[in-house]
């Protein structure tokens, strides 16, 4: 029997505007659940136009002073935030587990990966150094500088309540912007803790605001003329519509969408290593990761048969629970509705003719009978025309798609509409190099199943997995949250004589 989470009173979650917590005033709200017990744990307020206006007003009022502070002074807030997040890491992990359902070790990892972006943001003075060219013309110099945009907003998905917000706001803030965060209404508590810690770290009021809410809140943010840029992470249909609506409104938008990530397993690969990699990448976080591997592509039937033989018992033996025991490998799905959707995809796979090797449907855990659980599920002989292959399931369901050759496997990955991450398992350097260079995906792993770039590199997919021109965090993040200004400078040096009507050139 798995350790059950302690029952607690239903709490009320509002917003954080202008440096203070605010109760909701729109009259609309949503329910937050503990996925392991199935109990409602909180009611979260949904911001309407009035609260979004207040957040934008607070951010606009704070902007001139914040933007005028030197980069190293802004970075000092990040240094303090870094220590505060570290000392509150366990509290974050517990909040994430209690609203998302992922196991504690996974939640701790999420906090660490977010923290790394805060650490990256501490180097703001270096990131914002600009460029200088001496003597671009006789007696003329040039300076290129990156300046903040103003008020920017971030809209984030349920599956990383702390990390995905941290992909955005640390970089936006140290670049001199003010930020409005709208996290998923399913997992609001980590963002409220972030707001408290930023205040404790010395961030001036209004520089960082949280509005909770749903579609209505998001639309009020996107349409607001006071917001200059939108970072969005979520599913592809919403990412696409936010990109279109935001860019139509004249905003800069980066919108990261969904995924179907493939792992190609070459005949020469170390199969034990491949199976370990697949277990973590397909079933970690119950498959609710945009970098989860949901399609395994063994090359050759012998590789496929051996893979299934090793994989199936591991999937059957997955240790599933509330996520509080160190032995728990997989937790519940985020909501009952999402669990039912994942389960209906398993029904669909059977109807479509895929071979169901391990069936996770209908899992009931003793003591957690109302939790949103589904067991690990494994399909073999999935074909590219099946909806279970084409669509993102976002649950612990792995499809094995057998491939006759490397070229065929590569083509399969490239033909898929999504292109977030992908991986190849092989000891053949030539195959790995051909895969890395030829594959149409934004992030590639060679014997690395979940190739999430470090904070000082940038994260982002290709094709339907990203709308916009910039990946997130790293140098791309700095570019996204700043606008470039190039000045050409001449001092009175006696070289200018008379008017010239020709295009300025150098000679
Ligand atoms: P979602 O698209 O349902 O929601 C994302 C955000 O958009 C939430 O804040 C939500 O409140 C808001 N939203 C929902 N419906 C909306 C609508 N109609 N109009 C405007 N806003 C709306 O995504 P989710 O279910 O919370 O998260 C899972 C998805 O996110 C998966 O598709 C996953 O692949 C994707 N994801 C992608 C990345 C990436 O980096 N590419 C990272 C994490 C998650």
Higher pLDDT, 493 or 478: 478
Other Cβ atoms closer than 10 A to 207: 29
How large is the average pLDDT for residues 369-391?
A: 98
Residue 496 has pLDDT above 90, yes or no: no
User: Which among 29, 44, 157, 281 is the best mutation to test ligand 1's pocket, defined by most ligand atoms within 8 Å of the CB?
Assistant: 157
pTM over 0.85? The answer is: yes
Nearest to 189 by CA among 254, 255, 312, 94: 94
How large is the average pLDDT for residues 283-294?
A: 98
How large is the average pLDDT for residues 251-272?
A: 98
How large is the average pLDDT for residues 419-425?
A: 98
β-bridge mates for residue 380, sequence order: 355
Please list, in sequence order, all residues whose beta carbon lies within 8 angstroms of the beta carbon of residue 420, skipping any fewer than 6 positions away.
258, 259, 260, 261, 290, 291, 441, 442, 443, 461, 462, 465, 466
258 lines ligand 1 (CB under 6 A): yes
How large is the average pLDDT for residues 2-12?
A: 78
Nearest CA to ligand 1 atom 14: 215
Residue at token pair 């160190």: 326
Ligand 1 centroid to Cα of residue 286, in Å, is: 17
pLDDT of residue 507: 67
pLDDT of residue 301: 98
How large is the average pLDDT for residues 232-242?
A: 98
CATH of 261-446, one of 1.20.1090.10, 3.40.50.300, 3.20.20.210, 3.40.309.10: 3.40.309.10
Ligand 1 centroid to Cα of residue 207, in Å, is: 24
Pairing of strands 252-256, 229-233: parallel
In this predicted model, what pLDDT tens digit does every residue of 112-137 receive, in sequence order?
999 999 999 999 999 999 999 999 99
Cβ atoms of 296 and 307 closer than 8 Å: yes
CATH number of 11-257+465-486: 3.40.605.10
Residue 1 pLDDT level (bands cut at 50, 70, 90): low
Beta strands, E only, 73-206: 131-137, 140-148, 151-155, 178-182
Q: What percent of the chain has pLDDT over 70?
A: 99
Fold agreement (11-257+465-486, 261-446): no
Residue 214 has pLDDT above 70, yes or no: yes
175 given a catalytic annotation:
no
Least confident of 7-21, 100-114, 347-361: 7-21
pLDDT of residue 323: 97
pLDDT of residue 140: 94
394 lines ligand 1 (CB under 6 A): yes
Nearest CA to ligand 1 atom 43: 290
Residue 2 has pLDDT above 70, yes or no: no
Please list, in sequence order, all residues whose beta carbon lies within 8 angstroms of the beta carbon of residue 69, skipping any fewer than 6 positions away.
176
Ligand 1 centroid to Cα of residue 105, in Å, is: 23
In this predicted model, what pLDDT tens digit does every residue of 139-161 receive, in sequence order?
999 999 999 999 999 999 999 99
Q: What percent of the chain has pLDDT over 90?
A: 95
pLDDT of residue 5: 73
pLDDT of residue 494: 76
In this predicted model, what pLDDT tens digit does every residue of 163-174 receive, in sequence order?
999 999 999 999
Cβ atoms of 33 and 335 closer than 8 Å: yes
Ligand 1 centroid to Cα of residue 297, in Å, is: 27
Least confident of 6-15, 286-295, 428-437: 6-15
Residue 3 has pLDDT above 80, yes or no: no
Residue 107 has pLDDT above 90, yes or no: yes
235 lines ligand 1 (CB under 6 A): yes
465 lines ligand 1 (CB under 6 A): yes
Domain positions in the chain are 11-257+465-486, 261-446
In this predicted model, what pLDDT tens digit does every residue of 190-209 receive, in sequence order?
999 999 999 999 999 999 99
First-to-last alpha carbon distance for the chain, in angstroms, is: 82
Ligand 1 centroid to Cα of residue 287, in Å, is: 15
156 lines ligand 1 (CB under 6 A): yes
């Amino acid at each position: 029997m798995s350790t059950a989470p302690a029952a607690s009173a239903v709490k009320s979650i509002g917003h954080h505007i202008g440096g203070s917590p605010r109760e909701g005033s729109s009259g609309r709200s949503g329910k937050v659940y503990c996925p392991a017990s199935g109990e409602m744990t909180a009611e979260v307020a949904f911001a309407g136009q009035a609260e979004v206006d207040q957040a934008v007003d607070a951010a606009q009022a704070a902007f001139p002073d914040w933007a005028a502070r030197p980069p190293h002074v802004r970075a000092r807030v990040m240094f303090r935030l870094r220590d505060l997040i570290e000392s509150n890491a366990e509290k974050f992990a517990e909040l994430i587990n209690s609203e998302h359902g992922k196991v504690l070790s996974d939640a701790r990892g999420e906090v660490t990966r977010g923290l790394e972006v805060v650490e990256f943001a501490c180097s703001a003075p270096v990131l914002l150094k600009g460029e200088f060219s001496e003597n671009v013309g006789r007696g003329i110099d040039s300076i290129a500088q990156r300046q903040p945009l103003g008020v920017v907003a971030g809209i984030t998905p349920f599956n990383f309540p702390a990390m995905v917000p941290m992909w955005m706001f640390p970089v936006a803030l140290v670049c001199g912007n003010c930020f409005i965060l709208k996290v998923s209404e399913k997992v609001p508590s980590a963002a409220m803790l972030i707001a408290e810690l930023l205040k404790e770290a010395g961030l001036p009021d209004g520089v960082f605001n949280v509005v909770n809410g749903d579609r209505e809140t998001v639309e009020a943010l996107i349409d607001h003329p006071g917001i200059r840029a939108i970072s969005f992470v979520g599913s592809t249909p919403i990412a696409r519509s936010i990109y279109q609506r935001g860019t139509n409104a004249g905003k800069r938008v980066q919108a990261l969408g969904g995924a179907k990530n493939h792992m190609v397993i070459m005949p020469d690969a170390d199969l034990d290593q491949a199976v370990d990699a697949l277990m973590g990448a397909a079933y970690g976080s119950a498959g609710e990761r945009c970098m989860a591997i949901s399609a395994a592509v063994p090359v050759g039937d012998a590789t496929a048969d051996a893979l299934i033989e090793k994989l199936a018992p591991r999937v059957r033996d997955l240790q599933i629970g509330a996520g509080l025991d160190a032995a728990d490998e997989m937790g519940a799905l985020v909501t009952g509705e999402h669990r039912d959707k994942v389960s209906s995809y398993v029904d669909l796979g059977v109807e479509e003719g895929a071979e169901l090797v391990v069936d996770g449907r209908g899992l009931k855990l003793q003591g957690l009978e109302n939790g949103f659980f589904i067991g690990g599920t494994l399909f073999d002989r999935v074909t590219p025309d099946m909806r279970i292959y084409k669509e993102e399931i976002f649950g612990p369901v792995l499809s094995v798609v057998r491939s006759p050759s490397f070229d065929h496997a590569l083509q399969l990955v490239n033909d898929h509409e999504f292109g977030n991450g992908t991986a190849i398992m092989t000891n053949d350097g030539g195959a790995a190099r051909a895969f890395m260079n030829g594959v149409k995906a934004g992030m590639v792993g060679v014997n690395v199943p979940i190739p999430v770039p470090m904070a000082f590199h940038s994260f982002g997919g290709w094709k339907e997995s990203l709308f916009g021109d910039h990946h997130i965090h790293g140098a791309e993040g700095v570019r996204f949250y700043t606008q470039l200004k190039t000045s050409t400078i001449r001092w009175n040096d006696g070289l200018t004589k008379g008017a010239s009507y020709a295009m300025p050139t150098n000679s």
